[in-house]
A and B are shown apart, each in its own frame.
Chain A
């Protein structure tokens, strides 16, 4: 009786975990052939990651950068890119009018949490990045003087 119960518990756990384990092993084996971590990241994360790598190459490591997100779907990659670009000071804005008002994006809204982004509105950054996952490039870099904001 005890053995039967034990077999049932362990087998159900192993069987349920086997697919995930096999998937992890297969993915690791495939990526292990790639030469370095950056290549593996680019393969795993998709085209947006290459865009972030380009931004990293084209901006100084301490540069403030304004991200202008043109549509709600841009948030996911904008947040991930902001983390990847650290220590650059990336600020997120929902569209051009928020960017002009210097009002940062509110990423979560929970009436019972503290949602306010700390600190005063940030000064305009030298670099402006338009984030549009449906665009030709997910991230297009501009200087503030040459930003493509609609008039």
Chain B
């Protein structure tokens, strides 16, 4: 409850203050402001912590309290704006679709209430960072200086650990499971928003099954940050598509891209993909739109770079070395592409999802090369190209790295892939009369 209330309050305030339009249903609005709040709260704390503000109870409470104050001060002048709904509902098929959607989510909620966090990355990499912040009240303290405890990947971005530290401090419990609901509610919120913003309710209904299905340890029950990255990239993509009809939606795009930067190293590349899609495909039409897109992403990159100057590297990638070794690694590119294709096409891991997405990309290219299509294609193509490069330049055996990494990378692209699939299905339905959605 702390998790849901805290981040939803922050997200509601951000949506009101920045006049970000909300999705067209009550459940999706709650889910959206939760995601917005989780991102905004962690991002604000990241900015405050780097120059040395103590991360104590009062700092953790300050952001939601300021959010509550903002409701009172500006109550009269602020109204939510709402995005249009893209698909109809109410039939028997709709009832069945709701069951398909709700079943895995119900199991996820039950399992989250009972099971300990068991994924290796969550327990060894991410949650110790959160616990260190909660105990040392700093993102540059002894733990992050390598003077205390074991900190693997010392320079990984800290948005989620800061959110998790908040729940630990507010609940008075620094065990892993104090942050459990943060990690579980993020993918669930993503699926709920997707359900009303995707133009195919059935594709949306299948998405939670991918959340439990993904062959990464724990799926949506895990405390690694890949579903958070998928959620932030997903919101950026959905709102970029929505901004074609409702320009105010663009305000959320830069923010969510910035949250991706602050969540995982891969987020920087995903944010660049979103920026490229916004600049070259959607086309930014005013200085205001450029600022909404560029300022949050540049600020996020800036704060990460600055914070990294304050802490030493430990088991961190050296990107300048990796990129400079690309020419010598070109012979590994085909093997890297094959590894991604092999995992995506593995029916036991993903069902027919990625195979259908590949067919959809070709089908929509033939039927309708609209800007919606190109936005999705650019986002996925740039992200996949970056992942192919990443697999190629490491000194790992590609098969070994692919076995632990590729499914996570595919998770990041769930939303643009689902949008592509939904778009292809709509193109095969000539009588689809409602507004074309993502």
> Contact at B116–A44, with CB atoms within 8 Å?
yes
For residue A119, CB closer than 8 A to chain B, the reply is: yes
**Contact among B146, B317, B318 with A118 in the assembled complex (CB-CB below 8 Å):** B146
- Residues of B within 8 Å of A28, CB to CB, are 107, 110-111, 114-115
**Contact among B103, B114, B209, B395 with A112 in the assembled complex (CB-CB below 8 Å):** B395
Choose, from A15-23, A94-102, A143-151, the stretch at the interface: A15-23
Q: How far is the CA of A27 from the CA of B111 in the complex (A)?
A: 8
Q: Which residue of A lies closest to B427 (CB)?
A: A2
CB distance from B281 to the nearest CB of A (A): 26
> Contact at A9–B145, with CB atoms within 8 Å?
no
Q: How far is the CA of A19 from the CA of B429 in the complex (A)?
A: 32
> Contact at A119–B111, with CB atoms within 8 Å?
no
- Residues of B within 8 Å of A89, CB to CB, are 148-149
**Contact among A17, A114, A118 with B210 in the assembled complex (CB-CB below 8 Å):** A17
CB distance from B151 to the nearest CB of A (A): 8
**Contact among B128, B202, B395 with A83 in the assembled complex (CB-CB below 8 Å):** B128
Given known contacts A14-B351, A119-B145, A114 and B316 CB-to-CB distance under 8 angstroms = yes
- Residues of A within 8 Å of B103, CB to CB, are 21
Interface size on A, residues (CB 8 A): 50
Given known contacts A16-B351, A20-B212, A113-B316, A10 and B132 CB-to-CB distance under 8 angstroms = no
- Residues of A within 8 Å of B322, CB to CB, are 112
CB distance from A36 to the nearest CB of B (A): 11
Tell me what chain B mostly uses at the interface: helix, strand, loop, or mixed. Answer: helix
Q: How far is the CA of A90 from the CA of B312 in the complex (A)?
A: 18
Q: How far is the CA of A104 from the CA of B352 in the complex (A)?
A: 46
> Contact at B116–A118, with CB atoms within 8 Å?
no
Interface centre among A1, A16, A40, A107 (most CB of B within 10 A): A16
Q: Which residue of B lies closest to A1 (CB)?
A: B428
> Contact at A9–B315, with CB atoms within 8 Å?
no
Query: Which residues 384-438 in B have Cβ within 8 Å of A in the complex?
Result: 393-396, 421, 425, 428-429
Chain B, residues 115-155, CB within 8 Å of chain A (1/0): the string is 11010100110011001100100000000011111101010
> Contact at B114–A114, with CB atoms within 8 Å?
no
For residue B335, CB closer than 8 A to chain A, the reply is: no
CB distance from A87 to the nearest CB of B (A): 5
Q: How far is the CA of A16 from the CA of B127 in the complex (A)?
A: 30
- Residues of B within 8 Å of A107, CB to CB, are 152, 315
For residue A24, CB closer than 8 A to chain B, the reply is: yes
CB distance from B119 to the nearest CB of A (A): 11
Interface size on B, residues (CB 8 A): 66
Query: Which residues 83-139 in A have Cβ within 8 Å of B in the complex?
Result: 83-84, 86-92, 107-108, 110-119
> Contact at B150–A82, with CB atoms within 8 Å?
yes
Q: How far is the CA of A14 from the CA of B127 in the complex (A)?
A: 31
- Residues of B within 8 Å of A84, CB to CB, are 123
For residue B171, CB closer than 8 A to chain A, the reply is: no
Q: Which residue of A lies closest to B395 (CB)?
A: A111
> Contact at A17–B212, with CB atoms within 8 Å?
yes
Given known contacts A21-B209, A28-B111, A112-B317, A6 and B425 CB-to-CB distance under 8 angstroms = yes
Q: How far is the CA of A12 from the CA of B177 in the complex (A)?
A: 33
- Residues of A within 8 Å of B256, CB to CB, are none
- Residues of A within 8 Å of B205, CB to CB, are 10
Q: Which residue of B lies closest to A23 (CB)?
A: B212
> Contact at B348–A16, with CB atoms within 8 Å?
yes
- Residues of B within 8 Å of A32, CB to CB, are 114
Q: How far is the CA of A10 from the CA of B356 in the complex (A)?
A: 10
Q: How far is the CA of A90 from the CA of B152 in the complex (A)?
A: 13
Interface centre among A31, A41, A45 (most CB of B within 10 A): A41
> Contact at A16–B347, with CB atoms within 8 Å?
yes
Q: How far is the CA of A86 from the CA of B126 in the complex (A)?
A: 13
Q: How far is the CA of A16 from the CA of B317 in the complex (A)?
A: 34
Q: How far is the CA of A47 from the CA of B202 in the complex (A)?
A: 44
Given known contacts A28-B111, A86-B131, A16 and B123 CB-to-CB distance under 8 angstroms = no
CB distance from B217 to the nearest CB of A (A): 11
CB distance from B104 to the nearest CB of A (A): 6
For residue B60, CB closer than 8 A to chain A, the reply is: no
**Contact among A24, A27, A90, A111 with B150 in the assembled complex (CB-CB below 8 Å):** A90
Residues of A within 8 A of B (CB): 1-2, 5-6, 8-10, 12-17, 20-21, 24-25, 27-28, 31-32, 37, 40-41, 44-45, 79-80, 82-84, 86-92, 107-108, 110-119
A-B complex: 6 closest residue pairs judged by Cβ atoms: A118-B146, A13-B351, A17-B213, A12-B352, A12-B351, A17-B209
Please list 29 pairs of residues, one from A and one from B, whose beta carbons are closer than 8 Å in the complex, sorted by A's number.
A5-B428, A10-B202, A10-B206, A12-B351, A13-B206, A13-B209, A13-B210, A13-B213, A13-B350, A14-B100, A16-B347, A16-B348, A16-B349, A20-B219, A21-B213, A25-B107, A40-B116, A41-B116, A80-B124, A82-B150, A83-B123, A87-B149, A90-B149, A92-B150, A110-B394, A112-B317, A113-B316, A118-B314, A119-B146
- 6 more CB-based (< 8 A) A-B contacts, given A16-B347, A79-B152: A21-B104, A28-B107, A80-B120, A87-B149, A112-B394, A118-B312
